[in-house]
Chains A and B, each alone.
Chain A
Amino acid sequence: MNQTLAFTPTGPRQIDARFRRDMNIIGLILSLLVVMFIFNAFVSEELKAFLNPW
């Protein structure tokens, strides 16, 4: 039994699955943040230029 993660009655396997799920969600949502950065920094400038060619 993996003692390092056994800190609740639900057991290490469930905790490990929950940890992986939490980290996946955090990673994906922060990825969304970076995508918005990229959009704001580069794409939106191009879009503005395209919409206002004058």
Chain B
Amino acid sequence: MIDAFVYALNFLIPAVILRFALKTGDKKLLGEEYASASQAPSEKSKFNIFWSIFLVLLLVEVGATISGAVLDWFYSIGFDFYIRFELKVPTGVFGVIAHTISVAVMPAVFEELLFRGCVQGALRRYGAAFAIFASAVVFALMHCTVQQFLYAFCAGLGLGWLTYSTGRLWPAVLCHFINNGISVAYDYIYTYAGEFAYMISYVAITAVILILGVIGLIFVIRGGGDISEGSRQSRPSVLLRRAFVPGIVIYLVLVALLTILVVAP
């Protein structure tokens, strides 16, 4: 439980500093109004938000599959990026609640607040496409493992789009929570019900996400979704080339250092 609070503080402190340092958090997300109506993202009905969440969960599943294929390919040519850890599932009601809070609830709330709320909100003025892409990259790098990079990048793109297209932070928080919650559920099923039950539940949950995600895709295509706002004036490719400022370089160096430390025996 203490770990969960330390985890929350790790994200909350940078989020608060970033909010006050830049003073450009996504004002709508932080309960303030946009300076002009043209800056506001399109509002969606709750019905569309529901389907968009499943579409993003589908995107995360696709990202996980692609990530797994890439990692397997690296493994086949001699690069092993997999991190093997002992699966430890707590016992007792309090242990289960604490584990769920620290693994599913805390990351969902605080990572979304920092990356989608603050970073993406601050970068919105340079165009929605750049803001979503850049926040997804720094979000993926934050995981500090090669194993999770591609997967987290796909998730970051989806969650960024969800936050942008709905104009709200809570759908991304809920989506992140469902995704992490499913992982926690898999851990429990594998530990207490065995490998066969895990396989059955994996197929069932993936099928549900696939079906609901495809329905979500149909609704989103029909409803329209545009992230080209702002990009006519500021091309994302130009901004990306200019983004390698000293602060970002320091971040990249520290991420590389921690990635090596995690892999090192």
Contact = CB atoms under 8 A, between A and B. Distances in A.
B122 A22 contact: yes
Interface residues of B, number: 39
Interface residues of A, number: 28
Given A27-B247, A38-B258, A19 B119 contact: no
A38 B247 contact: no
The DSSP consensus for interface residues of chain B is helix
B230 to A, nearest CB: 7
A38 B230 CA distance: 37
A33 B22 contact: no
B50 interface: no
B89 interface: no
B18 A38 contact: no
Contact of A32 (B14, B138, B238): B14
8 contacts: A5-B233, A5-B238, A7-B230, A28-B250, A31-B254, A34-B255, A41-B258, A41-B262
Interface of B: 6, 10-11, 13-14, 17-18, 21-22, 24, 114, 119, 122-123, 126, 138, 142, 144, 230, 233-235, 238-239, 242-243, 245-251, 254-255, 257-258, 261-262
